């Protein structure tokens, strides 16, 4: 459908994503347009968000490549980069306290053995250190092995690797660029283009508590546009994992058209009554994503 090389026009990409002509006109006029898209599985709160930023693709890419995106995200509180060779060092800067970890340990988004390790740490007064040790191990395993290195959480159907594979398969339908395809399915440590890949920690505000998140960012500059894949391969609250594909291409008047496909996977919306739960979940997610996009539009004006 789109190569993100800049050869497709925003109008063509919008139509290819199933947007009616009225929605294409609305987003080119600066509105933030959202649309539900086909879910990758019964846990997927899939949503498409589109708009235009009043800046060039080059300037927007430079801003994104400085890893500033978390600053406009409605639910992100703080963040930092991680060195894949020593993630534990970067995690030292993560803003966690014992009280927060104690709350998260009551309903841990972890495997059974990790949850036991965290509980022991909390009881010994070292919950923060225990949590960061678990996160460092997850980083190393993921970086070396890709999706195959993600340990499932305890509980039925709570397998981020399986969900993210579904997201990858869905992404193949949205993006025809073979360069992007290859990086989606390659373990970061095995990529022939290491400059595309980065690791990041984020503290996100959950419904009840702030919690850690681990992101793998793939950013690929193409001829006139670029694509960023943000794979949240660990989430400490609210949802199991997510994958966001953001494509940016120029408009005819030199602005940046942004196509943002969010696939967030939550075991809470699967099973009986799942359709109604997903509808509610999308509504909550939509408001945060629209806020994030508007924040991004405001920042773009000053680039």
Residues 6+ apart with CB under 8 A from 216: 142, 188, 197, 198, 199, 200, 230, 231, 233
CA atoms within a 13 Å half-sphere pointing along the CA-CB vector of 217: 21
User: SS3 of 269, please?
Assistant: helix
Distances (CA, A) of 252 to 7, 100, 105, 155: 12, 48, 51, 49
Cα angle, residue 266 at apex, residues 261 and 131 outer, rounded to 5°: 105
Q: Which residues of the chain have pLDDT under 70?
A: 1-7, 269-274, 276-277
| Residue 223: burial class (beta carbons within 10 Å; 0-12, 13-18, 19+) | exposed
* Model pLDDT, residue 233: 98
* Model pLDDT, residue 37: 85
CATH architecture observed for domain 10-83+158-300:
2-Layer Sandwich (3.30)
* Model pLDDT, residue 1: 47
Sign, CA dihedral 226-64-142-214, equals: negative
Reported as a single tens digit per residue, the pLDDT across 25-82 is 999 999 999 998 888 888 888 899 999 999 999 999 999 999 988 888 878 899 999 9
Can you tell me the distance from the alpha carbon of 175 to that of 183, in angstroms, rounded to the nearest whole number?
12
* Model pLDDT, residue 276: 67
Q: Strand pairing of 76-82 and 197-205?
A: antiparallel
* Model pLDDT, residue 5: 52
Cα angle, residue 186 at apex, residues 184 and 192 outer, rounded to 5°: 110
* Model pLDDT, residue 96: 95
Beta bridge partner(s), residue 79: 202
Distances (CA, A) of 39 to 32, 43, 45, 238, 244: 21, 8, 7, 18, 13
């Amino acid at each position: 459908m789109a190569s993100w090389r800049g050869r497709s026009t925003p109008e063509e990409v919008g139509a290819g994503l199933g947007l009616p002509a009225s929605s294409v006109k609305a987003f080119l006029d600066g509105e933030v347009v959202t649309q539900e898209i086909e879910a990758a599985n019964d846990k997927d709160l899939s949503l498409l968000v589109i708009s235009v930023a009043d800046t060039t693709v080059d300037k927007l890419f430079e801003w994104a490549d400085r890893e500033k995106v978390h600053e406009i995200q409605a639910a992100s509180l703080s963040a930092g980069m991680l060195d894949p060779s020593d993630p534990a060092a970067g995690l030292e800067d993560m803003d966690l306290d014992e009280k927060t970890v104690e709350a998260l340990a009551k309903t841990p988004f972890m495997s059974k053995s990790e949850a036991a390790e965290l509980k022991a740490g909390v009881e010994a007064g070292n919950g923060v250190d225990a949590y960061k040790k678990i996160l460092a191990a997850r980083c190393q395993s993921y970086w070396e092995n890709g999706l195959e290195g993600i340990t499932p959480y305890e509980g039925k159907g709570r397998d981020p690797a399986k969900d993210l594979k579904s997201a990858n398969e869905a992404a193949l339908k949205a993006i025809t660029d073979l360069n992007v395809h290859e990086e989606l399915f390659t373990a970061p440590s095995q990529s022939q283009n290491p400059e595309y890949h980065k690791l990041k920690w984020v503290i996100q505000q959950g419904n009840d508590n702030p919690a850690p998140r681990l992101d793998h960012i793939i950013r690929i500059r193409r001829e006139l546009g670029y694509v960023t894949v943000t794979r949240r391969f660990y989430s400490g609250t609210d949802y199991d994992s997510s994958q966001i594909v953001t494509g940016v291409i120029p408009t005819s008047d030199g602005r940046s058209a942004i196509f943002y496909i969010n696939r967030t996977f939550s075991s809470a919306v699967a099973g009986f009554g799942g359709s109604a739960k997903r509808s509610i979940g999308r509504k909550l997610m939509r408001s945060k994503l629209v806020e994030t996009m508007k924040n991004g539009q405001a920042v773009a004006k000053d680039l």
